[in-house]
A and B are shown apart, each in its own frame.
Chain A
Amino acid sequence: MNELLIASMMTMMTAATPLVFAATGELVCEKSGVLNLGVEGMMLIGAVFGFAAVTLTGQPLAGLLAGSLCGLVAALIFALLTLTLLSNQVATGLALTIFGTGLSALVGLDYVGETIEQIRSIHIPVLSDLPVIGRLLFGHDPLVYLAIIILALSGWFLKPTRWGMILRAVGDSEVSAHAIGYPVIAIRYAAVAFGGAMAGLGGAYLSLVYTPLWAENMTAGRGWIALALVVFASWRPSRVLLGAILFGGITILQLNAQAAGLGIPGAFMSMLPYIATIVVLVLISRDAIRIRLNAPACLGKPFRAER
């Protein structure tokens, strides 16, 4: 049983990792006041280009770079439209998802059925061999650690650093931030680009590590879950990891219950993360002061500097 518990926790951790990547990126993006609903599309773009790069070069690192870079480029299209050309963020984000789904399927046609060398879990002598905690702490694939590091860095960046405070100021009150002289648009461009790179990385994790293959629409809604996760975490990086394990883990728990012969837990268990997100949203929103502390006030609103 102990062994099963450890194994399940390891599996849940890998299920959470793509969500951590994508949600961290979206969190920073939303903190700057931009709501990008194109996460699913950017993840798919990251997944297919990451896979293609590994197929062509044989280098896992090239795949990760290509995945995040292409996610970033896709995000820049979104930024150009919403920030420079002032299109509606909701509509543009949805368009980005449609675009990403189509583009990835088209690019992926040549890569369906290809195989690549999977990125393996690390093994640190001594540490990884420790009982229980050895595997839990030191037995994952390298990207699990990268996800946590990026999450922690983002948390640190958003709190005490000068640029982090500027980013939050831009998201909370773009007009005053502009009046003070901060480059609102440039900062938002950077935040959106970071969001795209992270979503691309999350997608590449799926196609390079999670299931080393490319299949059309393989993200299967994880981009949307990442969006829910940001709200669930009430825009606080410290809660993203917990939420990701919960959101990613619930599928694993369900499958475990089935394999153990407990029967199908039913649709209601699958609904739980979404209902929990709504409950959290209600709890943080009813308190006007707390919502102001966390949720970016200008989320989704276009901004154009008046001359």
Chain B
Amino acid sequence: MKYFAKLASVLLAALLSFGVAYSASADKLKVGFIYIGPPGDHGWTYAHDQARLMIDNMLGDHVETTYVEGVPEGPDAERAIAKLAETGHKLIFTTSFGYMEPTLKVAKRFPDVKFEHATGYKQADNVATYSARFYEGRYVQGQIAAKISKSGVIGYIASFPIPEVVRGINAFMLGAQSINPDMKVKVVWVYSWFDPPKEADAAKVLMDQGADIITQHTDSTAALQAAADRGIHAFGQASDMIQFAPDTQLTAVLDDWGPYYVKRTVDVLMGTWSPGDTWNGMGPGMVGMAPFTNMPSAVAMMARKTAESIRTGAFHPFTGPIYNQAGELVVAAGEVAADFPMLATMNFYVQGVDDKLPE
């Protein structure tokens, strides 16, 4: 929170000094958002909407925000994005991977509109991409899980076998192994980001098979609740889900898009926006951790320490030696995995993951 306050004051000062001429004009900058789900999902879309509200709160005098929810990836996405551009939105955030091609297509038609595409890898003169290093938080979760678990088996509910998710599983595993080299992670792919009954099914099945900690890379609260029903500890996803499992949530990796969204909006206001790719972690505050609850204070202390050393850059979760499932050394001892290509396109499991990566 302290970070936000600092950022806010800096940004507002910048606005006041540079933006005098701008604020004199009656027109507010219109900023649009395309959401894949409903803002109330308490997961991915919720986090983006919280960030949008932060723009409203901090820049409300200069900016007006609009969102379109539940836009399916496909032909409807292009229309919705174009509609925002046509209605005078000069900065548009498209917040799902599948909007990549539609965003690029619309961007070509509206060269004076700036586009920000989340989690994509293709940029253009007026299209920037951004993503968060959630794996940093997952490493911390892995450590906590290894400390808390009695069975030594952790259940991991995964969505799609894409680099981001694979990276999360690996970081979690590395964190767990740093505490107990024999930890086992069972992975279940549900091939969906948001399907509450199926996520609950996956959690139940994993618990049936002996997992005593559940972690998820899907968006609903169902898995957390299914675990809570059996008194099993679990991690929240994307936002603090403590109200759904007050006695069992350990922590959650938080998506804090707010600082980035505010900064990019200010950039457009001041005419300093430029395309590029941003990949931020705990350091700049794009990734956060919910309070460490329902665990012994020694474990919470350890988690806090790890998170702090990741935040300051003293420690990188993907520090060698790291071996893949075949036992080959992929990151040498003492070295850190490169962003590109290893982390960005990660398509292998580290040693110890009890699963075969789907082809």
Using CB atoms and an 8 Å cutoff, list the residues of chain A in contact with chain B: 4, 7-8, 11, 15, 105, 109, 112-113, 115, 118, 120, 206, 210-213, 215-216, 218-220, 222, 251-252, 255-256, 258-261, 263-264
Instruction: Chain B residues near A216: list those with CB within 8 A.
Output: 38, 70
A252 and B229 form a contact (CB under 8 A): no
Contacting residues, chain B, for A261 (C-beta < 8 A): 186, 354-356
Name the CB-closest residue of B to A251: B201
Chain A residue numbers with a CB within 8 Å of B205 are 8, 11, 252, 255-256, 259
Q: Which of the 9-residue segments B12-20, B191-199, B332-340 touches chain A? A: B191-199
Does residue B189 face the partner (Cβ distance < 8 Å to A)? yes
Q: Are B197 and A213 in contact (CB under 8 A)?
A: no
B120 at the interface (CB under 8 A from A): no
Which of B219-227, B286-294, B300-308 has 4 or more CB atoms under 8 Å from chain A? B219-227
Kindly name the residue among B187, B189, B204, B211 whose own CB sees the greatest number of chain A CB atoms within 10 A: B204
7 A-B pairs in the complex with CB atoms less than 8 angstroms apart: A8-B205, A210-B197, A211-B197, A215-B196, A256-B205, A258-B187, A259-B211
Complex partner residue of B202 from A115, A213, A255, A263, CB under 8 angstroms: A255
* Bound-state Cα–Cα, A219 to B198, Å: 10
* B297 interface residue per 8 A CB criterion: no
What is the minimal beta-carbon distance from A111 to any residue of chain B, in angstroms?
9
Against A, the Cβ 8 Å flags (1 = close, 0 = not) of B323-359 are: 0000000000000000000000000000000111010
Q: Which of B206, B221, B356 lies in contact with A259, CB distance below 8 A? A: B206
Residue on B with the closest CB to A120?
Answer: B229
Interface string of B213-254 (1 = CB under 8 A from A): 000000011100110010000000000000110000000000
Q: Contact check, A212 vs B225: say whether CB atoms are below 8 A apart.
A: yes
Q: Contact check, A11 vs B356: say whether CB atoms are below 8 A apart.
A: no
Given A261-B356, A264-B189, residue A11 in contact with residue B204 (CB < 8 A): yes
Question: With the chains together, A261 CA to B354 CA distance in Å?
Answer: 6
Contact A215 B194 (CB under 8 A): yes
User: How far does the Cβ of B352 sit from chain A's closest Cβ, in whole Å?
Assistant: 12
Residues from chain B with Cβ under 8 Å of A255 in the complex? 188, 190, 201-202, 205-206
Contact A211 B355 (CB under 8 A): no
Interchain CB contact under 8 A, A213 and B221: yes
Contact B200 A211 (CB under 8 A): yes
Convert B154-181 into 0s and 1s, putting 1 for each residue whose CB lies closer than 8 angstroms to a CB of A: 0100000000000000000000000000
Besides A4-B210, A259-B209, 17 other A-B contacts (C-beta < 8 A): A8-B205, A8-B208, A11-B204, A11-B205, A15-B201, A109-B40, A211-B200, A215-B41, A222-B197, A252-B204, A255-B202, A256-B208, A258-B189, A258-B355, A260-B186, A261-B186, A261-B356
Binding site for A on B (CB under 8 A): 38, 40-42, 46, 70, 155, 186-190, 194-202, 204-211, 220-222, 225-226, 229, 243-244, 354-356, 358
Contact B200 A210 (CB under 8 A): yes
Is the CB–CB distance between B225 and A220 below 8 Å?
no
CA distance A227 to B42 in the complex (A): 32
**Would you call B38 and A112 a contact (CB within 8 A)?**
yes
Complex interface: chain A residues within 8 A of B202 (CB):
255
Residues of A within 8 A of B358 (CB): 263-264
Inter-chain contacts of B204 with A (CB < 8 A): 11, 252
Alpha-carbon gap, A210 to B195, bound state (A): 13
Of all chain A residues, the one with the shortest Cβ separation from B207 is A7
Q: Please tell me if the beta carbons of A259 and B38 are within 8 angstroms of each other in the complex.
A: no
Indicate if the CB atoms of A113 and B225 lie closer than 8 Å. no
- Provided the pairs A113-B42, A115-B244, A215-B220 are in contact, do residues A260 and B209 lie with their beta carbons within 8 angstroms? yes
Contact A220:B220 (CB < 8 A) given known A258-B189, A259-B209, A263-B358: no
Expressed in whole angstroms, the minimum distance between the Cβ of A229 and any Cβ of chain B is 16
A113 and B40 contact, Cβ closer than 8 Å, known pairs A11-B208, A261-B356: yes
- Output the least CB separation between A223 and chain B (Å): 13
Q: Are B220 and A213 in contact (CB under 8 A)?
A: yes
Q: How far is the CB of B356 from chain A (nearest CB, A)?
A: 5
Kindly identify which residue among A105, A211, A222, A258 contacts B222, using a CB–CB cutoff of 8 Å.
A211
Task: Knowing A211-B200, A255-B202, say if A4 contacts B208 (CB, 8 Å).
Answer: yes
Closest 7 A/B residue pairs (Cβ): A112-B40, A7-B208, A211-B222, A255-B205, A211-B200, A211-B196, A11-B204
Q: What residue of chain B has the Cβ atom nearest to residue A6's Cβ?
A: B208
Q: Do B41 and A112 touch across chains, with their CB atoms under 8 A apart?
A: yes
B226 / chain A contacts, CB cutoff of 8 Å = 211
Q: Which residues of B contact A8 (CB under 8 A)?
A: 205, 208
